[in-house]
Structure 1
Amino acid sequence: MRSPWSAALCCLVLQAFLQPGKGLNVCTSGSAASCEECLLIHPSCAWCAQEVFGRNQTLVSRCDLVQNLQKKNCEKRFIEFSTSHVQVLKNIPLSSKRSGFVWDRVVQVSPQKISLSLRPGHQAQFSLQVRQVEDYPVDLYYLMDLSLSMKDDLATIRNLGTKLALEMGKLTSNFRLGFGSFVDKNMSPFSYTAPKYQENPCNGFKLFPQCVPTFGFRHILPLTDQVDRFNQEVQKQLVSRNRDAPEGGFDAILQAAVCEDKIGWRKEAYHLLVFATDDVPHLALDGRLGGLVRPHDGQCHLDDQNEYSASTKMDYPSLALLGEKLAENNIFLIFAVTKRHYVIYKNLTALIPGTTVEILDQDSKNVIQLIITAYSNIRSKVELTTSDPPEDINLSFTATCQDGKPLPGLRKCADLKIGDTVSFDVSVETRSCSSNNPKQSFTIKPVGFEDRLEVAVTYECDCGCSQNAQTNSSICSSIGTYTCGTCHCEPGYLGAHCECQEGDGNSMAVGACRESEGKQLCSGRGECSCNQCLCYESEFGKFYGSFCECDDFSCARHKGILCSGHGECHCGQCKCHAGYVGDNCNCSTETASCIAEDGKMCSGRGQCLCGRCRCTEPGAFGDTCEKCLTCPDACGSKRDCIECRLFGSGRLADNQTCQRLCKDQILTVESLKTDGTTLCLYKTHDDCIMKFTYSEHASGQSVLTALKEPECGGGPDALMVLLAVVGSILLVGVVLLAVWKLVITVHDRREFARFQSARWRARYEVDLCGKCYRSIHHIPFNRCACGPTGPRLEDHWWT
């Protein structure tokens, strides 16, 4: 028979673990031994530091929900409970237009400084507003490839400064221009190193026999508002020659970014770096072909002649290093490249934040319009980036752009006008407490902006009651420390007041160590001592709980990783970190990767599940379901790109979204081949027919093949139409008459043949009867009868 004590114990245990209608109580199931451990279990958990608590009850956990602790007669002043909160330290209002005075501070980001107090698992939320002010200063550094193939381009830009300043003056009243050039490393195998090529690499080259020695990067003109100096310096330049096709442009980009004093970048200005070339760049590790094994250090190496002195000492910089240095110095990089290399540089923009690419004509005639377009595109979007966030912190963003609709998981807005204000809601959550540095910081800023938000972080992991700890307290039998309502005994002592010693046989009361009647003591995972379970150690993890019934390693796994690495195992169940759900925490709730280029979730053709698009539209595929050859809107969506990319028309032509939304490769041909492709056609505004095909390359890129010009037929000629109609009527009449004539002729010939046949028979009978009469005229009583079968004699009586 079950004893009343055991039944009461079982009921209390179940009450402690289960909340009516809510399932598992994570606060009590964690078996926290201290206030700090309790606060780490879950943001809803609280600790009761009251000394007299649960005296008349057994197995009452001090770690529980606030309402449960109050029901158990814990006074409010003894309840330790904290939440994450935000404090704004600096918030200067946003500026609308830059003042002409230098000392006036332009504010494009608000607030500027905040402080976060984070409790693990509890989110802190704040908002960030960004507004690009009008008439903001612009620094533009023109970095040009001076290899031999760019000689025509050099002649084109000799008066670039004046024309560019005139156009940029329409956008800003404070514009400065600088100039630099590059070729490649002056060493084998990148350049000609034979003695006869040292002073003139073009020696023996018939098409262009004279050029300057090869150089890596040369800074020629610091940023200045005297555009005439730009023209003068450009006119002095001569091209050089290297051996291989790729250029050393990335060396030049890095030096232009990090040598801010020599270049002259201003703190309060937009920094534009225009990179003009007609070939691909050398990348990191290419330098090993010339024996350069030392990685680039990311430092400025311009000598007294403003030339790159480490060109033959260090390897080319990596994409990661370029992106880091460009972001540190708030530089927007504009790739101005020829059409045949557009796709290569377009792929690089995805790896280097704040980078755009535009198509440069073979002789750079469109360079001014290219720069204006790129600048307008840059000013039309805002994208947030974070710098050095702590590893144990999760950040999530929700953008609210001009349409006022929140976009979860998105940290950028596009299609903006100067002066538009956009806001971003930021949620911050920490997974644990930082033991190394309780105070940390990071920054959030728009790409290319000097303005930023500084975020200071502190952790709410300590309990206030811990400050009043009493060592060798009498409450703990003078052999333990009393803190937050509990005793922490010295090694070898146990019990609520350290009144028991380990292995004391007199203290063995096994009833409190059994979860229910018939169960093993301490669940078979520990020993019962002094009315409580001492759990065994395990090589797989930790046993814990009042009856050692829980462990931290028996949870679901994903690919062999406990809780997928995105959660904590608590008593057989995964407690997922923020941003993850599922039995094994392998499903991300982040939707940023599902947002297509047009801003729609999975391009409107699927659902975002676990951070990935699951396409529901038949025929749709791609990371964001953006590809669909059989969808009804396939041709319609690609038509806009054909119109804006090839003809500068359509609904995307008046804003700067064409390059952002239309990333497909577009080929122009004289005639279309539709084998294995989807044929699309539409009527233009002048009633011409435009045809193009849509297909998917094996690499995953969409390819559009369009006619160079729409097919336009001439208008109908009224006279020709009239003549055609009359001629058709006459032709039909003639044909009918001919048929009627033929029928009549056939009929007449048949009748005539019958007539001739009847006439011949009649004449034959007449001749035969005549002969008959002549032969029998001497017989009076007979008569010659001529019938159809011939003559015959008939008998008659004469009267």
Structure 2
Amino acid sequence: MWMWRAALCCMLLETCLHSARGLNMCMSGSATSCEECLLIHPSCAWCAQEEFGRGRSLTSRCDFSQNLQKRGCESRFIEFPTSSISILRNRPLSSKGSGSTQYDVVQIMPQKISLSLRPGDQTWFGLQVRQVEDYPVDLYYLMDLSLSMKDDLHTIRNLGTKLAEEMGKLTSNFRLGFGTFVDKNMSPFSYTAPKYQENPCNGYKLFPNCVPTFGFRHILSLTDKVDRFNEEVQKQMVSRNRDAPEGGFDAILQAAVCKEEIGWRKEAYHLLVFATDDVPHLALDGRLGGLVQPHDGRCHLNDKNEYSASTKMDYPSLALLGEKLAENNIFLIFAVTKRLYVIYKNFTALIPGTTVEILDQDSKNVIQLIITAYNNIRSKVELSVWDHPEDISLSFTATCQDGRPLPGLRKCADLMIGDTVSFNVSVEARGCPPRGADHSFTIKPVGFKDRLEVVVDYQCDCGCSRTAQTNSSICSSIGTYNCGTCHCEPGYLGARCECQEGEASSMYLSACREAEGKQICSGRGECSCNQCLCYESEFGKIYGSFCECDDFSCARHKGILCSGHGECHCGECKCHAGYIGDNCNCSMETSSCISGDGRMCHGRGNCVCGRCQCTEPGAFGDTCEKCPTCPDACGTKRECIECRLFNSGRLADNQTCQRLCKDEIITVETLKTDDPGAVLCLYKTDNDCVMKFTYSEHASGTSILTALKEPECGGGTDALTVLLAVVGSILLVGVVLLAVWKLVITVHDRREFARFQSARSRARYEMASNPLYKQPVSTHFVETDFNMYGKSYNGGVH
């Protein structure tokens, strides 16, 4: 109700502002008929009373409704259509999806409405969506069977039974199917030599036997007999292709469009699990093998349930893939290894209704992955618009579980199964379509079979036109009387077609001047029979009572008149709904400014003209989501780690935890910090443990948090223990130092004593050879010479 009041207040306010400025866009327009008057502005009305405006300009019949009444136009002659809404089908929402009435399950209300729209007149309607409990689920498991997936094939051999048990906790009606893919069996995508035709692994020592390469093979249609799934999986063998990318997108498209072969039920959720460990081939890659024909988006399964056009058509484009998945209400789940997460995360932004989960190297976590993805899908509702007419402007306001209107958003997240959310949709027709054009469109939640059909009727014709009179006597029998005015035959002019073209007089000329001293017909027309005939212009239309207006002299943006988001009326841009500014270049839409955590510009900027202007120093990105230098980066991520993993912290008891914390969180046993683009964060928990995590921001605006499963904790300590430990350590170090010193001194003394004893020993046994030792008795030889008895003797005395 408040939306209706707001729209009415805006219309009245706009009318008052125009009147206050002295600008009456109705009378200053070019309207010479009722239909032209209604197109000028939704507040303009037309007086079809015959005698009204006699002697005045024809455009005087086009005015505000209250002005027309003041000037004497009876209310029954005033043409003033307004937009209206009629509900054609409005069955109540269902609460459960199981049981015999599942074909009548309703998840959107109303189901069909009719809109009567006057161009330029904005109106509102509301709708509600509910994710019902125990809704049937069809799950098709599409697996990459290239050689690198051999370990994964062994892991899922009993997947059917285990998955049925887990899904049985969420729905009582579950069916499972199975299909496989490798790649196109042609060069350069696969080995094509004769020796590889039957066994592409020929000569490969690690795995010598495998089946021939194939594009897509449908193995098991959707069935509730899960043992069949296990049987078929156990029969499979891996194959081998040549290049790293796989042909998975070929397989996804066939699984989506081959509805009868796969067995998709209309009254069930359609889940397509795509398991691979490598990147896919994209459109135009097929030209490497000479495939120039684009994919036609059709089913091409032969009698062997194999994709027969694998070597005839190119890989499908992302746009075609998204269109076919949405057309068949299929939720695509990318189950990929960690190194491919960012690549496939970017794909989800281009393909509505898709999610991505991280698959272990051997697919051992595939069941938990599917359950997580299913719960994620069921926790959000997003509206999509089909067959949207170009001349209709739509804007959405979501009201989710917290009851707060969110303008510009068409989705709600963090819902519980059974929750009901509502949306207000603003509708405005910008013009009148060609007759015979399709006047309807559809609004449906992504992945739902339920939809809201909207039938549009344009209020472009006046009721008085139904009683138009040709060759009326009122129009001198040479014109058509329609809605109070005469439309003269060619060559005749005047309010009653009383003049012929070319007749002129001073009286007529004075009536063709806007004011004394002004040019006749503003210099852009000729005066004939009391009226201005405006010249034609190659730039656009010149109009007005005195040719004073045109539709090409308005402000431009990048060379485009009124930025392409408005209409030029007499030198002023009349902006379409959702745009403002002198040249209508400023969008009021805020959905592009909403960041992944649900905040406007990530809380680091303001949304101006539909784009974020970052105010936080160092912040950048489309939604200011990137800010390596922001001091609170680790702090913000910490709150999400606490509330999401441990249910603690400031957001633990706040329902906004799931709404604000949208980042993907990966838990690991050991944290690796070798990624140069990752930021390492640490914080101390309440029990004195240390929690470590890293986060990295990517070009897509998404963040990945990698955190330890449990904080790193040590034993508890107290002050006395620490003091005693420190004192004891000091004493111990002192004693050790003293002991070392004593040991060194002792060793040194013993070495010196040993050296002394050695010297003594040598002195005792080698005394005779000591040059310092002298005998106590010395001998000296003395020569003598004497003569005795006549003989000489020579001798010595000792």
TM-score, with length taken from structure 2: 0.85
Structure 1 residue identity aligned to 2:594? I
1:531-555 deviation line (CA, Å, top 9, x unaligned) = 1111111121121111111111111
Q: Which residue in the other structure is 2:452 paired with?
A: 453
Residue pairs, 1:202-241, within 5 angstroms: 202-241=201-240
1:680-737 deviation line (CA, Å, top 9, x unaligned) = 4211354222345667678877676878985544444888635445459989999xxx
Q: Which residue in the other structure is 2:685 paired with?
A: 684
Q: Is the 8 A contact 2:43 2:64 kept in 1?
A: yes
Q: Which residue in the other structure is 2:288 paired with?
A: 289
Q: Cα 1:702–1:223, aligned 2, differ >3 Å: closer, same or farther?
A: closer
Q: Which residue in the other structure is 1:636 paired with?
A: 635
2:536 is paired with a residue whose SS is: coil
Residue pairs, 1:17-32, within 5 angstroms: 20-32=19-31
Q: Is the 8 A contact 2:478 2:497 kept in 1?
A: yes
Give distance in 2, aligned partners of 1:495 and 1:340: 79
Q: Is the 8 A contact 2:626 2:701 kept in 1?
A: no
Q: Cα 1:265–1:97, aligned 2, differ >3 Å: closer, same or farther?
A: same
2:556 is equivalent to residue 557 of structure 1: yes
Residue pairs, 1:169-568, within 5 angstroms: 169-437=168-436, 440-506=439-505, 509-568=508-567
Question: Aligned-pair distance for 1:502?
Answer: 1.1
Question: Aligned-pair distance for 1:436?
Answer: 3.4
Question: Aligned-pair distance for 1:435?
Answer: 1.4
1:391 is paired with a residue whose SS is: coil
Question: Aligned-pair distance for 1:672?
Answer: 5.6
Q: Which residue in the other structure is 1:4 paired with?
A: none
Give distance in 1, aligned partners of 2:147 and 2:269: 32
2:95 is equivalent to residue 96 of structure 1: yes
Q: Which residue in the other structure is 1:662 paired with?
A: 663
Question: Aligned-pair distance for 1:235?
Answer: 0.4
Give distance in 2, aligned partners of 1:596 and 1:580: 21
Give distance in 2, aligned partners of 1:283 and 1:439: 34
Structure 2 residue identity aligned to 1:549? E
5+ residue gaps, structure 1, are 1-15, 735-799
2:563 is paired with a residue whose SS is: helix
Q: Is the 8 A contact 2:163 2:367 kept in 1?
A: yes
1:272-299 deviation line (CA, Å, top 9, x unaligned) = 0000000000000000000000000011
Give distance in 2, aligned partners of 1:327 and 1:287: 24
Deviates more, 1:91-100 or 1:393-402: 91-100
Structure 2 residue identity aligned to 1:29? S
1:653-693 deviation line (CA, Å, top 9, x unaligned) = 99995997115999998676999997642113542223456
Give distance in 1, aligned partners of 2:131 and 2:291: 43
1:350 is paired with a residue whose SS is: helix
Q: Cα 1:126–1:72, aligned 2, differ >3 Å: closer, same or farther?
A: same
2:574 is paired with a residue whose SS is: strand
Question: Aligned-pair distance for 1:605?
Answer: 2.5
Question: Aligned-pair distance for 1:628?
Answer: 2.9
Question: Aligned-pair distance for 1:97?
Answer: 1.1
Residue pairs, 1:103-122, within 5 angstroms: 105-122=104-121
1:240-291 deviation line (CA, Å, top 9, x unaligned) = 0000010000010000000000100001000000000000000000000000
2:151 is equivalent to residue 152 of structure 1: yes
Question: Aligned-pair distance for 1:624?
Answer: 1.5
Q: Which residue in the other structure is 1:72 paired with?
A: 71
1:564-594 deviation line (CA, Å, top 9, x unaligned) = 1111111111111111100000001111111
Structure 2 residue identity aligned to 1:639? R
Structure 1 residue identity aligned to 2:255? A
Q: Cα 1:59–1:269, aligned 2, differ >3 Å: closer, same or farther?
A: closer
Q: Cα 1:655–1:359, aligned 2, differ >3 Å: closer, same or farther?
A: farther
Q: Which residue in the other structure is 2:85 paired with?
A: 86
Q: Which residue in the other structure is 2:8 paired with?
A: none
Structure 1 residue identity aligned to 2:608? L
Q: Is the 8 A contact 2:671 2:693 kept in 1?
A: no
Q: Is the 8 A contact 2:58 2:495 kept in 1?
A: no
Deviates more, 1:40-49 or 1:631-640: 631-640
Q: Which residue in the other structure is 1:571 paired with?
A: 570
Give distance in 1, aligned partners of 2:360 and 2:732: 58
2:27 is paired with a residue whose SS is: helix
2:350 is paired with a residue whose SS is: coil
Residue pairs, 1:767-786, within 5 angstroms: none
2:60 is equivalent to residue 52 of structure 1: no
Q: Which residue in the other structure is 1:762 paired with?
A: none
Q: Is the 8 A contact 1:665 1:701 kept in 2?
A: no
TM-score, with length taken from structure 1: 0.85
Question: Aligned-pair distance for 1:98?
Answer: 2.3
Give distance in 1, aligned partners of 2:61 and 2:152: 78
Deviates more, 1:542-551 or 1:297-306: 542-551
Give distance in 1, aligned partners of 2:539 and 2:258: 54
Q: Cα 1:658–1:85, aligned 2, differ >3 Å: closer, same or farther?
A: closer
Q: Which residue in the other structure is 2:608 paired with?
A: 609
Structure 2 residue identity aligned to 1:365? K
Q: Is the 8 A contact 1:383 1:446 kept in 2?
A: yes
2:254 is paired with a residue whose SS is: helix
Question: Aligned-pair distance for 1:597?
Answer: 1.6
Give distance in 2, aligned partners of 1:346 and 1:81: 51
* RMSD of Structure 2 on Structure 1 (CA): 3.0
Structure 2 residue identity aligned to 1:570? H
Deviates more, 1:493-502 or 1:636-645: 636-645
1:26 is paired with a residue whose SS is: coil
Give distance in 1, aligned partners of 2:644 and 2:431: 50
1:100-146 deviation line (CA, Å, top 9, x unaligned) = 11565101111011111111001221111011111110000000001
1:626 is paired with a residue whose SS is: coil
Q: Cα 1:602–1:510, aligned 2, differ >3 Å: closer, same or farther?
A: same
